[in-house]
A and B are shown apart, each in its own frame.
Chain A
Amino acid sequence: MLISLAWLRELLVGADRLAAEDVARALSARGLTVDAVGSSGADTVLDIDVPANRPDALGHRGVAREVAAALGLALAPPPDARATSGAPADGAVRVVIDAPELCGRYTAGIVRGVRVGPSPAWVVERLAACGLRSIDNVVDASNLVMLELGQPVHFFDLARLAGPEIHVRGARDGERLTTLDGVERTLAPGMVVIADARRAVALGGVMGGAATEIGHETRDVLVEAAWFAPAAVRGAARALGLSTDASQRFERGGDIEAPSAAQVSAARRLAELAGGTPAPGLVDVRVAGAARRSVGVRLSRARTLLGYEPSREEAIGALEALGLSPRSEGERIEIQVPSWRVDLEREADVVEEIGRHLGYDRIPSRMLSGVSAASAATSAPRVEERVRDRLAGLGFHEAFNYAMIAPAEDDPFVPAGAPAPLVLTNPIAETLAVLRRAVLPGLLRAADQNLRRGATEVRLFEVGHVFEGSAPGALPEEPSHAAFAWCGSAEPPHWSGPARPADAYDAAAMIDEILAVAAGDRPFRRERADVAALHPGRSTLWRDGDGRRIAWSGPLHPALADRIGVTPGILVGEVDLHAAARAGAPRPSHIPVPRLPGTSRDLSIVLSPGAEAGAVVEALRRVPSPAPASFVWIDRYEGKPLAPGEVAMTLRVILQPLDRTLTDADAEAYRAELLGALESVRGARLRRIDT
């Protein structure tokens, strides 16, 4: 809201020298924050950020009221300009409110014999100071009324209205009205329509109609000043995308008493600027009660909320200055809520008024004491935090991406048949239209961006929610996922030798690291991944004991890299942290360090094409061992004398007894059983055993 200092001075008694800085300081300290002080011609302009609950400050008089309270000044009385002669208005027009739920009060006044023309310079300047352009003397008159009182008024050309009867009713479905801006609008029920005998002539509280617009030939003006239901005006303005100075005021809640003052002011302005003659009398139809509301406040409550107890005199002084007519009633102070203060409903609201007037600097500063039982139970860091630390420790940089992505962007990253993504009804851009089901699409874009900027080593990770569709109306699942994108060498390049490029096994190691943080030693099964985004031959999928997909990693599928235009060769991986950590954080514990010597056997095993090392270990692990056994692959060979496609791999089987020494017989029996088990693995055969 732009406020003219010159105008403000006129509305206060003895305020000719009122300084903009003092006004700005006082208003800001009272919650009407002055964002800027500027100038417009010879005038000074204050840009006030009026909060949504203070529609009374959307006019100069309302702001003057606040300044008067702050600085101990008096408001200038409004000039009385009631007409006393001529044909009375109530003979020329009748008003019927058909929709009392939409319109609480409608007043109509008449000003005859106006001459439409340009406004005088002072009007042009004043409107300019308030950010409005002068149109003509009649339109300007209506804007002056609104800017002064905060009450919008609308002028109809009386001659262009069909008949003397005005109806205020709800719009009919599909009803059409061409508004002042020349746009034909289709109305809907719930919107307020002002209609004459034939048709809708204005969209109440938002904008007038073109058919009854004031023009150069206009002589007699019907002045509308009304109170429209805030929700109805807000709904209409939103539905039509038509936010006006009027709608912004009505939708915050108008002053039910203001229309009378606005009629007086409009009559005076039209007389002054356009030579009109106001008709005596006013048509005033009112359906909303004007019950004066009163609210009580206890000083003890003020102390509880503010942290200090103002004296009774201070509290009453503050409420008096604000025009709230306080009256002491025992422990309570009873205030009368003025019609313009739509925000004062409860005791706490009145406490704020007292606090605001006395100044928030009065509030003392106190340290919280004591710790509640709930807060004393400090929990371990969440799995997301531990994974962040681990990935940063492994050399990855944390990235942030929007939860919104382009439609279908994450399709290759979710299993076939996954529920459709959640769709925004009002996206900010088509590329940000659905909620992600995987973290990688955004991360991949970020990695690619970095490569395009010339980076050669890119290691990015992100931990964040993904969104999994659900039953309509129910909240979706939001599991946290951790994902990484990696391009470049396995270890940072060093002058001592050529760098080894990171490969699928490095990527899989990162998943193993994340799973170790999230799930401790809970085992997961690995298999070839069927994720469309990944290289079909080099990617891994991790499942838990229930077969649930937990993680996947591998090089990006070259066809996908081609299609979305990212640099080929990027390694990616993603973990569903909630699924991985389902069993809870591993309990801290230990197993004793073995004191007995261990023993090991190396099995050299030939794998035919298609056979997998994991199947070998899985089979051997099932063999009952005489002591805890572990299995480590120690080398790999291909070439002669092996057949093409065959590989020989050496598996070291380590037996580590904990409580008794192994006998040779134990070890031999175990070995025999291992060999038996190996025979059951398709595509694997023993080459030799080394001890």
Chain B
Amino acid sequence: MDDRLAALEREFRQALAAAAGNPAAVEELRVRFLGKKGGLNVLLRELGRMDASQRARVGSALNEAKGRIEAALAEAKEAAAGEAREAALARERIDVTLPSRRPPRGSLHPVTQTRRELERIFTSMGFTVETGPEVEDDFHNFEALNLPPGHPARDASDTFYLEGGLLLRTHTSPVQIRTMLARKPPIRMICPGRVYRKDLDATHLPMFHQLEALVVDEGTSLADLKGTCAAVWSRFFGDDVAIRLRPGYFPFVEPGCEFDISCRMCDGRGCRICKETGWIELGGAGMVHPAVFEAVGIDPERWTGFAFGLGIDRIAMMRYGIDDLRLMIDNDVRFLRQFPS
């Protein structure tokens, strides 16, 4: 019996070596050696015919052999499965240097992105964002802004008129008027939007984008205007930007000014972009004209306010270094896709 058991184990070891790496062959060995009619069970069945003195010893030898075979089979099975998985994984290899399958990527117009950045800066300083109609009437676009009929400054705005006397707003200032008529001070608002002027050349489009800011409060002064400008532009362009106010004329402010920032291209040393002055003109500003306050029913003795306005398109061009205005309205996807959202 002992010899037969040893022979069986030898036979198993040989067969196992042959079946290594093949899960199906390993499973066959289990049937062949451990199954009902398997070699080990044949020996076990003979155990009953042995006398009691032998039975205990042989029985335990058989059980030990069975344990060894089971362990070897489990080990071989795991090894075989691992190899098969390895082989499968090897077959599933891809070329990782090929391009991925990306979803389409859109973009937001540089003017939109610039406007949003400015809105973000202003709203963080407590400004509301107001909007208004693009088709306006004479009162909101001109008269309430201290531009009565016949005022010479009306010429400068090159207004588009509509049949029936309405017009396309020439600035976003009508939104200031609408806000002041609708709300009592204190007011702290910006109004970004599209505006229209009858102008079309290398540096002008008949439609462009403005952003105006208005603060009305007790004791608001040009010092607040200067501080606000400085804060906005240092946050927009970076801390090293310098700002400057110069006297300027706009009928709806008094005192009025133009505001400049130090040239971003040359850091104020003077270059082609800033015409060697070191400064770039950004827009007009000033203290709200008392006649404007009177037109909207705000007492100019108690309340003062500052306003300023700028062209978003120009700021966007400065921000991204765009030097051709036509690109802004050309809608060329080769241009637009450079501004992913």
Q: For B304, list chain A residues within 8 Å (CB).
A: 304-305
**Are A348 and B254 neighbours in the complex by a CB distance under 8 Å?**
yes
**Are B109 and A422 neighbours in the complex by a CB distance under 8 Å?**
no
Q: Does B171 contact A (CB under 8 A)?
A: no
Closest-CB distance, B98 to chain A (whole angstroms): 7
**Are A395 and B196 neighbours in the complex by a CB distance under 8 Å?**
no
Q: Does A122 contact B (CB under 8 A)?
A: no
Closest-CB distance, B245 to chain A (whole angstroms): 4
A458 to B104 alpha-carbon distance, docked (Å): 11
**Are A307 and B224 neighbours in the complex by a CB distance under 8 Å?**
yes
A459 to B287 alpha-carbon distance, docked (Å): 45
Q: Does B236 contact A (CB under 8 A)?
A: no
Please name the residue on chain B nearest to A370 by beta carbon: B126
Q: Does A388 contact B (CB under 8 A)?
A: yes
Q: A392-B341, A403-B207, A432-B206 are in contact. Are A31 and B136 (CB under 8 A)?
A: no
Closest-CB distance, A403 to chain B (whole angstroms): 6
Closest-CB distance, B316 to chain A (whole angstroms): 11
Q: Does A449 contact B (CB under 8 A)?
A: yes
**Are B331 and A404 neighbours in the complex by a CB distance under 8 Å?**
no
**Are B256 and A402 neighbours in the complex by a CB distance under 8 Å?**
no
Q: For B187, list chain A residues within 8 Å (CB).
A: 372, 374
A391 to B334 alpha-carbon distance, docked (Å): 18
Q: Does B321 contact A (CB under 8 A)?
A: no
A residues 328-349 in Cβ contact with B at 8 Å: 346-349
**Are A397 and B333 neighbours in the complex by a CB distance under 8 Å?**
yes
**Are A52 and B104 neighbours in the complex by a CB distance under 8 Å?**
no
Selected from B112, B183, B226, the residue in CB contact (under 8 A) with A398 is B112
Closest-CB distance, A252 to chain B (whole angstroms): 5
**Complex interface bits, B118-146 against A, C-beta within 8 A gives 1, otherwise 0:** 00000101111001011111000000000
**Are B164 and A473 neighbours in the complex by a CB distance under 8 Å?**
yes
Q: Does A51 contact B (CB under 8 A)?
A: yes
Q: Does A394 contact B (CB under 8 A)?
A: yes
**Which of A28, A53, A460: most chain B CB closer than 10 A?**
A53
**Are B206 and A307 neighbours in the complex by a CB distance under 8 Å?**
no
Q: Does A624 contact B (CB under 8 A)?
A: no
Instruction: Say which one of B24-32, B59-67, B68-76, B214-222 lies at the interface with A.
Output: B214-222
A375 to B186 alpha-carbon distance, docked (Å): 10
Q: Does A566 contact B (CB under 8 A)?
A: no
Selected from B231, B247, B330, the residue in CB contact (under 8 A) with A356 is B247
**Complex interface bits, A347-370 against B, C-beta within 8 A gives 1, otherwise 0:** 111011001100011011111101
Q: For A51, list chain B residues within 8 Å (CB).
A: 248-249
A305 to B102 alpha-carbon distance, docked (Å): 57
A351 to B254 alpha-carbon distance, docked (Å): 8
**Are A478 and B134 neighbours in the complex by a CB distance under 8 Å?**
yes
**Are A399 and B230 neighbours in the complex by a CB distance under 8 Å?**
no
Selected from A251, A367, A372, A427, the residue in CB contact (under 8 A) with B227 is A367
Selected from A30, A53, A360, A398, the residue in CB contact (under 8 A) with B108 is A398
**Are B221 and A455 neighbours in the complex by a CB distance under 8 Å?**
no
A372 to B215 alpha-carbon distance, docked (Å): 11
Selected from A349, A363, A377, A459, the residue in CB contact (under 8 A) with B245 is A363
Q: A403-B194, A426-B161 are in contact. Are A395 and B228 (CB under 8 A)?
A: no
Q: A372-B187, A398-B107 are in contact. Are A475 and B194 (CB under 8 A)?
A: no
**Are B162 and A424 neighbours in the complex by a CB distance under 8 Å?**
yes
Instruction: Say which one of B6-14, B47-55, B150-158 lies at the interface with A.
Output: B150-158
**Are A397 and B255 neighbours in the complex by a CB distance under 8 Å?**
no
A residues 13-72 in Cβ contact with B at 8 Å: 28-31, 33, 51-54
Q: Does A670 contact B (CB under 8 A)?
A: no
A467 to B249 alpha-carbon distance, docked (Å): 33
**Are B196 and A403 neighbours in the complex by a CB distance under 8 Å?**
yes
**Are A28 and B255 neighbours in the complex by a CB distance under 8 Å?**
no
Closest-CB distance, A26 to chain B (whole angstroms): 12
Q: For B96, list chain A residues within 8 Å (CB).
A: none
Q: Does A308 contact B (CB under 8 A)?
A: yes
Q: Does B332 contact A (CB under 8 A)?
A: yes
**Are B194 and A305 neighbours in the complex by a CB distance under 8 Å?**
no
**Complex interface bits, A374-409 against B, C-beta within 8 A gives 1, otherwise 0:** 111111001001001101111111111111100000
Selected from B106, B189, B227, B329, the residue in CB contact (under 8 A) with A392 is B106
**Are B247 and A31 neighbours in the complex by a CB distance under 8 Å?**
yes
Q: Does B239 contact A (CB under 8 A)?
A: no
A312 to B217 alpha-carbon distance, docked (Å): 26
Q: For B336, list chain A residues within 8 Å (CB).
A: 397-399, 460
Q: Does A371 contact B (CB under 8 A)?
A: yes
**Are A400 and B106 neighbours in the complex by a CB distance under 8 Å?**
no
**Complex interface bits, A464-495 against B, C-beta within 8 A gives 1, otherwise 0:** 11010000110110100000000000011011
**Complex interface bits, B290-327 against A, C-beta within 8 A gives 1, otherwise 0:** 11000000000000100000000000000000000000
Q: For B330, list chain A residues within 8 Å (CB).
A: 449
Q: For A234, list chain B residues within 8 Å (CB).
A: 150, 152
A394 to B105 alpha-carbon distance, docked (Å): 7
Q: Does B337 contact A (CB under 8 A)?
A: yes
**Are A307 and B223 neighbours in the complex by a CB distance under 8 Å?**
yes
A491 to B290 alpha-carbon distance, docked (Å): 58
Q: Does B200 contact A (CB under 8 A)?
A: yes
**Are A54 and B226 neighbours in the complex by a CB distance under 8 Å?**
no
Q: A349-B254, A395-B106 are in contact. Are A375 and B249 (CB under 8 A)?
A: no
A residues 299-315 in Cβ contact with B at 8 Å: 303-308
Q: For A495, list chain B residues within 8 Å (CB).
A: 98-99
A302 to B198 alpha-carbon distance, docked (Å): 38
**Which of B102, B244, B249, B330: most chain A CB closer than 10 A?**
B249
Top 10 nearest A-B pairs (CB, nearest first) are A395-B104, A307-B223, A31-B247, A51-B249, A352-B255, A307-B221, A371-B126, A392-B341, A392-B106, A446-B331
11 more CB-based (< 8 A) A-B contacts, given A305-B221, A392-B340, A403-B168: A30-B247, A303-B221, A346-B291, A348-B290, A356-B255, A370-B126, A389-B341, A398-B336, A403-B196, A449-B331, A473-B165
15 A–B contacts from the bound complex (CB under 8 Å): A53-B251, A234-B152, A305-B221, A307-B222, A360-B247, A363-B222, A366-B221, A366-B226, A368-B126, A375-B123, A399-B331, A403-B196, A459-B104, A472-B164, A475-B136
Chain B residues with a Cβ under 8 A of chain A: 98-99, 101-109, 111-112, 116, 123, 125-128, 131, 133-137, 149-153, 155-156, 160-166, 168, 183, 186-189, 194, 196, 198-200, 206-207, 215, 217, 219, 221-224, 226-228, 230-231, 244-249, 251, 254-258, 287, 289-291, 304, 328-334, 336-337, 340-341
